Structure 1
Amino acid sequence: MTAEEVPVGQTLDLGSHPVPEEEIIRFASEWDSQYFHIDPAVAQESYFGGLGASGIHTLSIYQRLSVNGLFERYDVIAGKEARHVRFIHPVRAGDVLTGTVFIDSVEHDGRGRATVITTGSLRNQDDVVVLRLQMEALIAANAKST
């Protein structure tokens, strides 16, 4: 599908993702090996009082949910920008994160593509927002300049 079919003004459910301790440790061991992400015992003594997922891990979960729940339906050219990324609340082992995305706008550039601007969030099982961000993606469009 093309950018003309993106449902501007709608909020879409992106589904959920459970976050087990093993996934937190595995991701952080590879990409963000700070002790409060990889060592549950030492993390107990940290500012957060326990193991927490890396913010980049949390952002990756959002990306997976947004692709599966929205973008895989469209002819995506590329991601363009992520802005206002806010890690609002720690993600803990055992959390189940649920994503939503609001389609802010579709801006055609006349070159067979459009910039789709979305505002998304992840909430945990207690309905606490853990991540909020705005993203831009380029999607193929039917509208072309003459």
Structure 2
Amino acid sequence: MPWFEDFKVGDRHRFGHYEVTRDEVLDFARRWDPQPFHLSDDGAAATHFGSLSASGWHTAAMTMAMVVAEQGKDDDGSGSLGAVGIDNLRWLKPVKPGDVLSVETEVIETRPSSSRPEMGSIRNRTTVFDQHGDPVMRFEPIVLYRRRSA
């Protein structure tokens, strides 16, 4: 399991492979984000999207699936104690059916907790890329981890 002390500012990690399918885009949109450009080609053609695009929230969910899968490679997934929030969430480019997503994280801040000495927070700059290497989403999660020194 990674510990708080294992993270250093500047550390980068690239991982993930998520193939976006048309059926998944439509299923997510019907349930969670039923806007015309997420639901049909015709609805999307009438907008600046031009063609069917995944909801930004769907892109975030696909990213979380890749993050959890990556965490599970090194441990049982219990290294993280959860997140306290996300800052600076931006959807940079529409995600389309057929795109293949991957993730890069960069540690931008580590902070021991002053009120909970058994944990610390890690702020990452997380960027999601499509198969062409173009960034499609960026955000900064603040994640809690256990400390060895506790």
* 1:141 is the counterpart of 2:147: yes
Cα distance, 1:124 vs. partner? 0.8
Residue in structure 2 matched with residue 132 of structure 1 by the alignment? 138
Cα distance, 1:136 vs. partner? 0.3
* 1:75 is the counterpart of 2:76: no
What is the CA–CA distance in structure 1 between the aligned matches of 2:8 and 2:50, rounded to whole Å?
A: 42
**Aligned 8 A contact 2:9 2:108 in 1:** yes
TM-score, normalization by structure 2: 0.87
The RMSD of aligned alpha carbons is 1.7
**Aligned 8 A contact 2:121 2:142 in 1:** yes
What is the CA–CA distance in structure 2 between the aligned matches of 1:37 and 1:124, rounded to whole Å?
A: 18
Cα distance, 1:41 vs. partner? 2.8
Q: Which runs of 5+ in 1 are unaligned?
A: none
TM-score, normalization by structure 1: 0.89
**Aligned 8 A contact 2:8 2:110 in 1:** no
Residue in structure 2 matched with residue 29 of structure 1 by the alignment? 30
The amino acid of 1:90's aligned partner reads P
**Aligned 8 A contact 1:13 1:69 in 2:** no
Deviation string, structure 1 residues 4-38 (Cα, Å, up to 9, x no partner): 22354211012111101111001111110111101
Cα distance, 1:125 vs. partner? 1.1
Residue in structure 1 matched with residue 14 of structure 2 by the alignment? 13
**Aligned 8 A contact 1:113 1:139 in 2:** yes
What is the CA–CA distance in structure 2 between the aligned matches of 1:68 and 1:55, rounded to whole Å?
A: 20
Q: How many residues are treated as equivalent by the alignment?
A: 144
**Aligned 8 A contact 1:98 1:124 in 2:** yes
Q: When you count strand as a share of all residues, which structure comes out higher?
A: 1
Q: Which runs of 5+ in 2 are unaligned?
A: none
Cα distance, 1:67 vs. partner? 2.2
Q: Give the share of equivalent positions with the same residue, in percent.
A: 24
What is the CA–CA distance in structure 2 between the aligned matches of 1:122 and 1:136, rounded to whole Å?
A: 17
